[in-house]
Amino acid sequence: MNQKIEQKLKKVMFSYGKHYYHATLFFPKKIRNQVIILYAFVRRLDNIVDDFNLTVEEKIEKFKEWESEWLNVINGRESKFEELNLFYEIVKEKNIDMEYIEAFIRSMRYDLKPVRIKTFDELKEYIFGSAVVVGYFMLYIFDYFREELKEYAAALAEAMQLTNFIRDIKEDLRLNRIYIPEEIYSKFNINEKDFFDFNSNKNFKDLVKYLIEINFNMYQKANQGIKILPSKVRFPVLYASELYSSILDEIKNNKYDVFNFSYKLRTRRKFSSLLKTLLNFITNKY
């Protein structure tokens, strides 16, 4: 990857995934560059389905264009999107299972229409394609794709994705999406209309508190798997986990209000997360 493209893809990651970007700074250079390529690969399709300024028809057209470009790469032709060419080189080098890439594309296609999730199992199926397979790609990049680590990679990916869903409830509503399963929110006497009334139902805070408790447990499980990772990648993965779980602490500090606050970690919070990660690392907790 030449320096110009490298800087361009770094800018993509810094613009859309600052938490991931700061964690990647601690990877060895080759791994860091491949993670940046991976992020750019998934981000372009994610940006298409999340674009507030596009109609559904326009999103579908752009999605088809992306798929056509990806097929070009698979069939030995060059894409106009540099990250597709670069990611396919990683796919070949690491022997990444193409079924995982297809699962990712299916989950992104799911977001082209209004999203309503009925059950937690249905949510997990969506998250498998949108996040878990990305965790698997990371294991491939680490040269550590092993059965005993897949469940932990899945747990961390699921934890981070659920954090996104909790934090972004209001933002997702702008795209006509509700990722929180109906079987969960209905237990709190919340209905679909309540979401669009933006916190008119006071039970929302109890719902968010419940989801955060589940989410913290997911991080605890995932962090057990981080102990198994090779030392050269263990610290940045732990730091990414700590950064993301810190978002939940911020939501707790604001009394579980996800409608009236925007949750972006400040520099001071990122630094305290870094110190906590360092302490855990040097005391051999991880």
Separation CA 71–CA 69 (nearest Å): 5
Q: What is the pLDDT of residues 178-198, one digit of tens each?
A: 999 999 999 999 999 999 887
Q: What is the pLDDT of residues 208-233, one digit of tens each?
A: 999 999 999 999 999 999 989 998 99
b/e for 166-179, b at 16 or more Cβ within 10 A?
Answer: bbbbbebeeeebbb
What's the CATH fold of domain 3-282?
A: Farnesyl Diphosphate Synthase (1.10.600)
Q: What is the pLDDT of residues 149-176, one digit of tens each?
A: 999 999 999 999 999 999 999 999 999 9
What does 33-75 look like in DSSP terms, one character per residue?
HHHHHHHHHHHHHHHHHH-TTS-HHHHHHHHHHHHHHHHHHHT
The residue-averaged pLDDT of 66-93 equals 96
270 alpha carbon, distance to own chain's centre: 18
User: How many helices and strands in the chain, by DSSP H and E?
Assistant: 15, 2
Q: How confident is the model at residue 9 (pLDDT cuts 50, 70, 90)?
A: confident
The residue-averaged pLDDT of 11-31 equals 84
pLDDT of 199: 64
